[in-house]
C-alpha cells in the first residue's frame, strides 16, 4: 500500500442489484505534528447499519477519534517511535496488523507485542499503541459503537478529545528511549497469517484493562472447494456489550450474522469462488494477499489487488480468485444491517461535514 488506498463502495440500485457507487483513492492523511497518518474508508451513522440511500456519506463523515452511535472502518499507520496516549473509546474495536510490529499497552501495565497477521479485540479498555520498530506499522481497524462499561456502579467513560490532545503533546515532548516490551505473546516473530493470534481485552474488578485471552487456533467457519473462511471473533448483537465475559467466536457453518458482528479472513485458492453470498450486513473488506474479483448479480466484476479495499452494502455478490497467485486472502469485517428500505423520492441523503481528523 502507498500513500493512498483504493476504495470501492458497492450498493444496491432501485431494483435491488449491485452497482458501484464509488471507486476512488482514500488518502492517508498525516496527523498534525506526529509520525502517524490515517484514512477513513467508510462509516455508518448507526448500528445495525443502514444500507439505504439515506446514508451514503460514509466516506465524508467526521468521525474524530471514534464515531459514537455507529461504526467506522479505517486504516492507521504509526511511524517508527510513535506512541499514542492512553485512551478509551465506547466501542468494540476489531484490529488487524497489516505490516510492521506494534506494542499494545494497557493501563494495568500489561503489554503485548504484535506483528503482521495478529489481531486484537479491544472491548472498551484503556490502551495505547507504540511502534518500537524501525519501520512503519499499519493497522486495519473496525470500530463499532458499544454501551459504556459499568463496574461497581462506576461508569467507565470515553477519553475526551482535549485530554487526548494534551496527552499527545506530553508524549511528543518527553525524551525518547527504546523500551523493551514485557510481551505476553510468543518470543519469536512471524509474518504469516497461519501463525497469527488474537488478543482479547477486558476489565478486572479494579476497572483496569487486562488481557482476557489469547486465541491461537482458528477453525474455519466455512470450507469448501478451495474456499475457507476463518472467523476470528463474533458478537451476538450490535451494539455489542463490553460488560462481563467476552462473547467468544462461534464456529458456525455459513455466513449469516443474525444481528451481530464478526471479522475474519477469507482464503481463495486460485480458480475458486465462494458462490452466491447475500447477507443482511455491511462488509468492510481489504485484500491482504493476492488478487480477487467481486462479481455482482448484474455480471459486473470489480478487480482488487493487495492493499485495496471494498465496502459491500448488503449486496448479492461472489468472490473469485482469477489472479496469478496461488492464494487470495481477504480481511472482512461484517456488521449486521437492517433490511433495506428505498429512500422516498423527496428525501435527500444525509449530509455531513467532511472529515477533518482521521
Which are the contacts of 183, defined by CB distance < 8 A and separation ≥ 6?
A: 103, 111, 112, 113
DSSP 219: -
pLDDT value for 2: 56
Per DSSP, the residues of 253-279 read SS---TT-EEEEEEEEETT-B---B--
DSSP 70: S
Instruction: Quote the CA–CA distance of 97 and 212 in Å, as a whole number.
Output: 19
Instruction: Quote the CA–CA distance of 341 and 68 in Å, as a whole number.
Output: 23
Give φ, ψ of 105 to 5 degrees.
Answer: -115, 135
Kind and range of the H or E element at 76? strand 71-78
CB crowding 50-61: b at 16 or more within 10 Å, else e: bbbbbbbbbbeb
pLDDT value for 184: 44
DSSP 170: H
Instruction: Quote the CA–CA distance of 243 and 222 in Å, as a whole number.
Output: 29
Is 0.95 surpassed by the pTM of this model?
A: no
Grid coordinates belonging to 212: 482476557
Residue 356 CA, distance from chain mean position:
20
pLDDT value for 309: 98
Give φ, ψ of 331 to 5 degrees.
Answer: -80, 130
Low-confidence ranges of the chain (pLDDT < 50): 1, 180-192, 251, 346-358
| Residue 157 burial (C-beta neighbours within 10 Å; 0-12, 13-18, 19+) | exposed
Instruction: Quote the CA–CA distance of 118 and 116 in Å, as a whole number.
Output: 6
pLDDT value for 350: 40
pLDDT value for 176: 61
Going from the N-terminus, what domains does the chain have, and what CATH number goes with each? 4-336 (2.60.120.10)
Which are the contacts of 191, defined by CB distance < 8 A and separation ≥ 6?
A: 115, 116, 117
DSSP 20: E
Which are the contacts of 204, defined by CB distance < 8 A and separation ≥ 6?
A: 108, 210
Give φ, ψ of 158 to 5 degrees.
Answer: -70, 150
Amino acid at each position: 500500500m502507498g500513500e493512498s488506498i483504493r476504495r470501492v463502495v458497492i450498493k444496491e440500485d432501485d431494483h435491488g442489484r449491485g452497482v458501484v457507487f464509488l471507486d476512488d483513492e482514500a488518502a492517508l492523511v498525516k496527523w498534525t505534528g506526529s509520525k502517524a497518518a490515517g484514512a477513513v474508508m467508510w462509516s455508518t451513522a448507526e448500528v445495525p447499519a443502514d444500507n439505504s440511500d439515506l446514508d451514503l456519506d460514509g466516506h465524508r463523515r467526521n468521525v474524530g477519534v471514534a464515531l459514537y452511535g455507529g461504526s467506522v472502518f479505517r486504516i492507521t499507520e504509526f511511524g517508527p517511535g510513535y506512541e499514542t496516549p492512553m485512551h478509551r473509546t465506547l466501542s468494540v474495536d476489531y484490529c488487524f496488523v497489516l505490516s510492521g510490529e506494534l506494542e499494545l499497552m494497557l493501563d494495568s501495565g500489561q503489554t503485548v507485542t504484535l506483528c503482521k497477521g495478529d489481531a486484537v479485540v479491544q472491548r472498551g479498555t484503556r490502551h495505547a499503541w507504540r511502534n518500537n520498530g524501525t519501520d512503519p506499522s499499519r493497522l486495519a481497524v473496525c470500530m463499532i459503537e458499544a454501551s459504556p462499561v459499568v463496574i461497581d456502579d462506576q461508569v467507565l467513560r470515553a477519553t475526551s478529545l482535549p485530554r487526548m490532545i494534551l496527552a499527545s503533546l506530553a508524549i511528543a515532548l518527553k525524551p525518547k528511549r527504546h523500551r523493551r516490551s514485557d510481551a505476553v505473546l510468543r518470543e519469536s516473530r512471524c509474518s504469516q497469517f497461519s501463525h497469527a493470534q488474537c488478543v482479547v481485552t477486558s476489565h478486572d474488578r479494579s476497572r483496569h484493562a487486562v488481557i482476557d485471552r489469547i486465541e491461537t487456533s482458528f477453525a474455519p467457519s466455512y470450507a469448501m472447494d478451495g474456499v475457507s473462511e476463518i472467523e476470528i471473533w463474533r458478537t451476538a448483537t450490535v451494539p455489542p456489550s463490553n460488560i462481563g465475559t467476552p462473547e467468544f467466536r462461534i464456529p458456525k457453518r455459513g455466513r449469516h450474522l443474525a444481528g451481530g458482528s464478526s471479522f475474519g479472513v477469507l482464503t481463495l485458492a486460485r480458480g475458486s469462488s465462494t458462490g452466491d453470498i447475500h447477507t443482511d450486513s455491511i462488509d468492510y473488506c481489504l485484500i491482504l494477499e493476492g488478487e480477487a474479483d467481486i462479481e455482482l448479480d448484474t455480471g459486473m466484476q470489480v478487480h482488487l489487488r493487495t492493499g485495496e479495499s471494498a465496502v459491500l452494502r448488503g449486496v448479492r455478490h461472489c468472490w473469485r480468485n482469477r489472479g496469478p497467485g496461488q492464494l487470495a486472502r481477504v480481511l472482512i469485517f461484517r456488521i449486521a444491517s437492517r433490511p433495506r428500505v428505498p429512500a422516498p423520492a423527496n428525501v435527500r441523503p444525509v449530509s455531513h461535514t467532511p472529515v477533518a481528523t482521521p
